[in-house]
Structure 1
Amino acid sequence: MQFETLPGFREFYPEACARRNHVFGRWRQVARAFNFLEYDAPVLEPLELYIEKSGEEIVSQLFNFEDRGGRAVALRPEMTPSLARLIGAKANSLKRPVKWFNIGEHYRYERPQKGRLRAFYQFNVDIFGEPGPTADAELIALLCQALQAFGLSAGDFKVRLSDRDLWLLMLAAEGLDEAGSATVLGIIDKLERTDRSKTIEKLAPVLGEQAEAFLGRIEEAIAIRDFDRLRAYIENLPLEGDLAAQAKARMEDWAQLLRNLKAAGAGDFIQIDLGIVRGLAYYTGFVFEAFEASGAGRALAGGGRYDALVKKLGGPDMPAVGFAMGDVTLVDLLESKSLMPEYMQRPEFIAIIGGEDERDAALADAAQLRALGYQVEYPLKNQGFGKQFKAANQSGARFALIYGSEELERGVVKVRDLTAGTEAEIARDQLLQQVPALLESGLES
């Protein structure tokens, strides 16, 4: 019987695993350049953790079950709840701002399709303890640099920037209360994927006969791409007193965020787009999503500010902002742009062995080279020199270390550059000292 992989899950044969590790390596490199610390958390968590964060409707999207201890558990669909729990448990002892990142596998029980699988990896990056827009700017700049690290440019992706706080002010100007605003934001979040008539139909229970006129005003706001236009739009809202003061302060936050992003070299990637709402109710301020510049395909990354979540999950009141980037849509984009390198692991050295005595010498040298971190291959069975040289050339190795009876008798190893075809002899007791120069400069002619 031939077993098949479960739907929505992936195998990673060596070349695919190397490509995956290439992605992970770039993510780690950028996170560490911004001085973020790596953490990890359990892949299996209490089901209640996700219900508390996202509501009962999340259960249908999870791999959840009752364990042998009678506990309701779930494979993690995302990292944020686990992270908020970890931060909350140690909040008093953590030096702020807390800058952490994680690369981990996540699981969602949903229909597999292009850009979305049931098992996927995410790059999660978060800052805790800093309420101002400088933290938002740091995260968005890191996101832009992470995508640039793969060779993507401003012509390939954009980060669409919006603001839940601004939306609440805009909806307050429409006379909506907190419950009505929450309902409307959920509708706006799906605006791009819903027919206009259907959207009006969904708005009607909240706005009645004003639903269509309201949608027109919303569409006007969503079309804004310029900060000066956005500021003029907000200044013209019918807000008074504390709400007017909040609107003014919020535009100052916008100005600082955009200034910091420009200074950090991310300005060309930013696109103001109030159509981004991020449907999850726990977002509390700036929200953003990275998309391919053409607008095709799914979001490459998404995130925003979630200042209330740590407290909601039992921790102290602690501001937070973060984003997650998935590997599936990213790799799809990189492959479409021919930016995903083909990987083949190649040894630096491959031994060519004459007989058993020579094998002993080759193994002794290989052990020392491997202990220093060099990649060394040698034949596991006895073969003639011809077959061994053919295998050596096919391996992609840079150098062959040739151990014949004459070389063994004289205490040397013959080194052949498999690309240039040049050869030289090196005393075996000098091999370790000669290797760094050999790899850097090759064989001297």
Structure 2
Amino acid sequence: MKKLFIIDDEKSICNALKYAFEDEYEVFMANNMDEFNKMIKGNRPSLVLLDLRFGSISGLDLLERIKKIYPDVVVIIMTAYGTIESSIQAIKKGAYDYILKPLNLDDLRELVKKAEQYQNIHKKIMLDNYSFEEEKDIGIIGKTVKVKKVYEMVERVKNLDVNVLIQGESGTGKELVAMAIHYNGTRKDRPFVAVNCGAIPEHLVESELFGYEKGAFTGANESKKGRFELANKGTLFLDEIGEMNPYCQVKLLRALQQREIFPLGGTSSKKIDVRIIAATNKDLSKEVEEGRFRKDLFFRLNVVPIYVPSLNERKEDIPLLVEHFIKKANLMYNLSIKEITEGALEKLKSHNYIGNIRELENIIYRACIFSSKGFIDETCIPDLSPLDEVYYDEDIIPIKLGTKLEEAEKQLIINTLDYVDGNKAKAARILGISERSIHYKVKNYFD
């Protein structure tokens, strides 16, 4: 599903806009800078509704920051302080358009509709010149043989209406592959809707996937489209299909076989035309053998299989990925890191990546934040002991037995600072030490 950022310091406005657009978008809201920083990190929006005055911060500054990270995103400025000068200034900085508060929802919907049309045309122009060798709006980075095989498979299936099953470990970029197929194919001007199958509770599967009619159950005060209908004429990306429970599998199989859906509470079916791309980090053939996944559903999904290699299988791509993440970190955190040393690259190449590209990305962001030299060397990168026996997670700091106390403290401080986006005062409060101490320790680590 497309992502919408709502950035306004008034919670009531955010909540009202979320309610208005949540059927068409996955909505993210920010009422303050902490929420803004967390929201913008790792989430690529399709559309942004941005207040011109975000507390004491100028929305124009936030606009500039958003456009640096996501140059092609459409941003609509909202303001109660409308002047010709501020409108022109916003558009010069990359805003699509400008709307005055108090907001008229009908006018805003019309503006959003026009913005979507503009975005589709712009994306079409971009994708006409798309090269898999260069990471652009939806790129896959890499030049190794295994990655080039993925490129070739995308080229082969992009214009074919066949179901595709993408397999690979968590953090390898399976959704990027699905997006590359969609946005380079015949359906690229139609919706791309993503759904996490493992996150749908059993009792909500019908309403989430197929929608419901007004009065279908208590609280259904109006009809709501499901993910299939939202993706009609486009692509439905079924992420983590291996996590789908048996009841959901039956419902999904029926929709795929009959190419029609039955909204909950409805009296008739609706024909749907969607291309299905599924993804999983499990071995589905093994899941079928052990009775956890339906054989008939597996065969229907696995028309064209694509395997996305883990980072450990393509370590020759690490320099390209590092270069990309350094550029991204510079934009996100207003840094000016110029390069990485060969020693640091060798240290990264020798690591066993349990978290794949996502893990490498976090390591590079952390190294950029703590580099005081304008480049990344070995001292900027934490001890990357093999983590074969440690579960990797962004919210867990894996410290092996036998790690020196000084190194464990260093890891704890670095990870905490990373969690709070480099805010030393906040990190100090969490760790229960003074801000002066944290400044001293960070300086001591990297001098």
Q: TM-score, normalised by structure 2?
A: 0.24
Which protein is richer in strand relative to its size? 1
Larger Cα-atom Rg: 1
Name the structure, 1 or 2, with higher relative contact order (CA <8 Å, separation 6+).
Answer: 1
